[in-house]
Amino acid sequence: MWVLFAFGSAIFAGLTAILSKIGVRNTDSNVATAIRTIVVLLFSWLMVFIVGSQRTLADVSSRTLLFLILSGFATGASWLCYFKALQMGDVNKVTPIDKSSTVLTMILAIVLLGEEITLLKAVAMLLIGGGTYLMVHKKKEATSGVTGRALSGTGSEKTSGVTGAGPQSNLWLVYAFGAAIFAALTAILGKVGIEGIESNLGTAIRTVVVLVMAWLIVFMTKKEKTIKEIDQKSWIFLILSGFATGGSWLCYYRALQTGPASVVVPIDKLSIVFTIAFSYFVLKEKLTWKSLSGLVLIVAGTLSLLF
């Protein structure tokens, strides 16, 4: 059953990236993250009360609570980096790097959680790592601005990092790798944190931490004044992306609770398939044979972990 939840997480995560890309087009990325988190928080606590796990809140141990809080901070940091990268770069530039957290998560699961390493897992890591390299290498060359024009806007938005020259044009790369590192830490801390606790309740507790962190960043950077400038279309897509994220989280942590992190996480990262497909058909972002080959390697490496 955990396999089905893991695939459900991948589908919702794929939708999240596309909806968020549209939502942050004319919105500060930190403000967008904070707004989305409100939706995720409401969604996650609604599920808590539906399944009745709020009655076990008093039984949560201090150790579990600590790791859930740490996981929440890692998630918040990953989100802030991810949506900043999405705002500056194309979806099919940012997503492959973000999904490279798969390999790091597998390594951490083996080292820190004592999960077994097999020849199959080693081969899978090589395939996923090689596929990610092919996709990132292709994207680093694509600086002519051919991709992502459909929704990248004009003026300052367009020159904020998608097509421009100089250091700023590659700044999305730094944020994307930051998102991957924090995402890997999120999975490991979350795996420990949800032991002995109902998965929906664990997700809801973590979301509270993310919400507090996100809004602190907004007020520290004095971006709260930009909320009134958000257009109706951006509001709609930010809210929809919040629901998609909520669905992804609920499936992900349900799978992580009963399945091995070194397998659940790679399946979740198959969201790259849905993300790339949507970015091609909806955002009109281009996909070369090199990046397509990389995508095939990532999928092959992920699916091999199921056997």
**pLDDT per residue over 264-287, tens digit each?**
877 887 888 888 887 888 888 777
* The predicted structure's pLDDT at residue 32: 92
Q: What is the pLDDT of residue 137?
A: 64
pLDDT at residue 214 in the model: 93
- What pLDDT is attached to residue 70? 94
Q: What is the pLDDT of residues 123-161, one digit of tens each?
A: 988 998 888 888 876 444 443 443 333 333 333 333 333
Average pLDDT over residues 170-179: 89
CA dihedral 280, 284, 288, 294 (to 10 degrees): -30
Q: Residue by residue, what is the 3-state secondary structure of 118-186? A: CHHHHHHHHHHHHHHHHHHHHHHHCCCCCCCHHHHCCCCCHHHCCCCCCHHHHHHHHHHHHHHHHHHHH
Mean pLDDT for the chain overall: 82
Q: Provide mean pLDDT across the span 251-263.
A: 83
Tell me: the pLDDT tens digits for 27-40? Answer: 898 999 999 999 99
Could you report the per-residue pLDDT of 91-133, keeping only the tens digit for each?
Answer: 877 888 887 787 888 888 888 888 888 888 899 889 988 888 8
pLDDT tier for residue 212 given thresholds of 50, 70 and 90? very high
pLDDT of residue 256: 83
